[in-house]
Amino acid sequence: MAVAGVLIAAVGALGWELHVRSRGFAPTLNDSSDLWAERREAVRPESMVIIGDSRPLFGLDLDELERGFGKRPIQLALAGSCAYPVLEHLANDETFRGTVLCGMVPGMFFAPGGPLVATSEKAIRRYQTWSPAQRAGHYLALPLEERIAFLKQDELTLAMLLKTLPIPDRPHAQVGPALPPYFNHLDRERRARMTAQAEQPGRLRDLIRQRWLPLFTPPPPPSYVPPDVFMKEMGLAMEVRMKNTVAAVAKIQARGGEVIFIRFPISGELKTLEDKLTPRRQTWDPLLQATGAAGVHFEDHPELAHFDCPEWSHLSAADSVVFTRALVPHLQRVSKFRRIAQTGGAPAPH
């Protein structure tokens, strides 16, 4: 009976593996809180750390950054997240005095709460409470995830498959916008690369594009809150986030570190939507002015502005290398650590 049970389980697993591969899935690491905690442990006092949402996760090539700065960056950006909790977390780490490259999507960075903030807080909490059992489970899972396609915690678990059922909106039960499907590979340094299927014209690319627009469109205010009151509360929430960001950046600067904000290329209807909802003059410009931090906006430089994102929101695997290579001189220009390396002098006081 034991042998029969093992054989049945093996046949079932093999069948499911072949099925998900036929649907376009391939073996890749899950971007779990454990993987994030592992990379967070690699941060040293003078590290270069990447934070933000999925755009720096896809768009920054670690090899090109290492060539430009002489140090290997630590990738801590999180898909579907708000960057502020991680920025605050690094600011509160008294040992950290390195460089923070912070990806900036205004609608996500200034989110006052909800799933975007919760995603970052979950990763930080895992790092702070990472137990030996969780650590062991993580390292045991890595070789399996690199070889088995159906081990996708964000796609192929029963709970996630149930969420794909076509359930319509009902009174007092509104169904939120669907997330994009799997379309990237992830390595052990958390470097994400878009799959070839998502880069090419076709059903997958069109599906991802269709899902960005509702995801980036804010939900309507609750019916029981007057629109003017709701807008006032949102404005106050943005003011609080701006004030807290100024304080976090100041803490890092006071220890001799620096924060550089980066606006990554976007394309198509998504760019039109973001420009309308979060115009630069109301988000990016006030942020740099208030914090005194450096910033590189892709629209300010022709060599950064010409990229066309296949699914409107992220750079392709090849373009991410070219973009990072073009970005490095701008980061060197605004980075005090590059100036120190060139001159051998001490950093200018803030």
Query: Which pLDDT tens digits describe the chain residue by residue (350 residues)?
Result: 888 888 888 887 777 777 777 777 777 888 899 999 999 999 999 999 999 999 999 999 999 999 999 999 999 999 999 999 999 999 999 999 999 999 999 999 999 888 999 999 999 999 999 999 999 999 998 898 888 877 777 776 666 666 666 777 666 666 666 666 778 889 999 999 999 888 999 888 998 998 899 888 887 777 777 877 877 888 888 899 999 999 999 999 999 999 999 999 999 999 999 999 999 999 999 999 999 999 999 999 999 999 999 999 999 999 999 999 999 999 999 887 654 444 444 444 33
Q: What is the dihedral of CA 253, 58, 176, 198, to 10 degrees?
A: 170
Q: What are phi and psi of 296, to 5 degrees?
A: -125, 115
Taking the complete model, does pTM exceed 0.85, yes or no?
yes
- The token pair that represents 115 in the structure block: 């799933």
Q: How much is the pLDDT for 345?
A: 43
Cα separation, 195 vs 182, in Å, equals 9
Cα separation, 248 vs 226, in Å, equals 33
CA dihedral over 106, 61, 289, 91, signed as positive or negative: positive
244 closest CA partner among 100, 107, 81, 92: 92
Cα separation, 306 vs 123, in Å, equals 34
Q: Are 60 and 10 in contact (CB under 8 A)?
A: no
Q: How much is the pLDDT for 209?
A: 93
Tokens 């909800």, located at residue = 114
